[in-house]
Every structure is written in C-alpha cells, then in structure tokens.
Amino acid sequence: MARIGLVAHDDKKDDLCRWAERHRQKLAEHELWGTGTTGSRIIEATGLSVHLLKSGPLGGDQQLGAMICEGRLDVLIFFIDPLSAQPHDVDVKALTRLATLYDVPLANNKSTADAVLAAV
Ligand SMILES: O=C(CO)COP(=O)(O)O
C-alpha cells in the first residue's frame, strides 16, 4: 500500500476528479492524502476515503512537503495549472522541490499520473 498525495489547482480539479473516478478501484487500495479543497472534491466525486489536510494556500502544500521530508508520502499526484498565477506559488515550488529532492514520484498531468499509478 502506497501513501499518495492528491492536489490540483482550481482549473485542474475537475480533471483530477475525473482521473480519480477512472482509477477508483486502484486508488481504494492505497492511503490517500489531499489538500483541503481537492481532497473534499475527490471524496464527493468518488466516495474514496481521503485524509484531509489544510487547503493549499493555507498551508496544505507545506503539510505535504513535511510528509515528504519525514518519509511519510510515497507518491505525489499534483495537477498544476500552467496557465494561472498562484498566490501561494512559493509553497507550490517548495512542494515540487521537496518531491524532487527526496525522489518521490511526482505526476503533474494525467499521462504521468496514469504511468505512476500503474507502477505502485
Ligand atoms: O492550492 C493547491 C495546491 O497548490 C490546492 O489546494 P486546495 O486543494 O485546498 O485547493
């Protein structure tokens, strides 16, 4: 069982919910962690159990970063919106930096997320 973080920027939340619905059965085998709004949307869309952290802009990205550096997260699925500025861009950068630093598989789009999930 892998510990999987699920995060999406606002314009990508629908995409991540559809992706989670498509992979519902496989995701149910794992321990899921989500930032507040993303996690709630996934619970609503799929009925999956997701541990909810703070909303991203309120520290949820940093909580996931802390999980990574403490060895408590195995995979990060983070659908980033490349077309919008984020008020908490520094937190987004910190999270992706820590995932890279600790060699945690990081999927920023659907194709990569498909590949990563197939490997866990
Ligand atoms: O902002 C986010 C990631 O940077 C996601 O946070 P929410 O899931 O709370 O919207």
Q: What is the pLDDT, as a whole number, of residue 44?
A: 98
Q: What is the pLDDT, as a whole number, of residue 9?
A: 97
pLDDT interval class at 79 (50, 70, 90):
very high
The reply, when asked if residue 36 is annotated as ligand binding, is yes
Q: What interface predicted TM-score (ipTM) does this complex get?
A: 0.97
Q: What is the pLDDT, as a whole number, of residue 84?
A: 93
Q: What atom of ligand 1 comes closest to residue 92's alpha carbon?
A: 4
Q: What is the pLDDT, as a whole number, of residue 88?
A: 93
Q: What is the pLDDT, as a whole number, of residue 20?
A: 98
pLDDT interval class at 15 (50, 70, 90):
very high
- In short, whether 46's Cβ falls inside 6 Å of ligand 1 is no
Q: List pLDDT tens digits, range 30-58.
A: 999 999 999 999 999 999 999 999 999 99
Domain boundaries, the chain: 3-119
The reply, when asked if residue 88 is annotated as ligand binding, is yes
- In short, whether 92's Cβ falls inside 6 Å of ligand 1 is yes
Q: What is the pLDDT, as a whole number, of residue 97?
A: 98
Pick the CATH number of 3-119 from 3.40.50.1380, 3.90.320.10, 3.40.50.300, 3.40.50.360: 3.40.50.1380
Share the mean pLDDT of the chain: 97
Residues 6+ apart with CB under 8 A from 53: 33, 34, 35, 36, 39, 59, 60, 63, 64
Nearest residue CA, atom 2 of ligand 1?
56
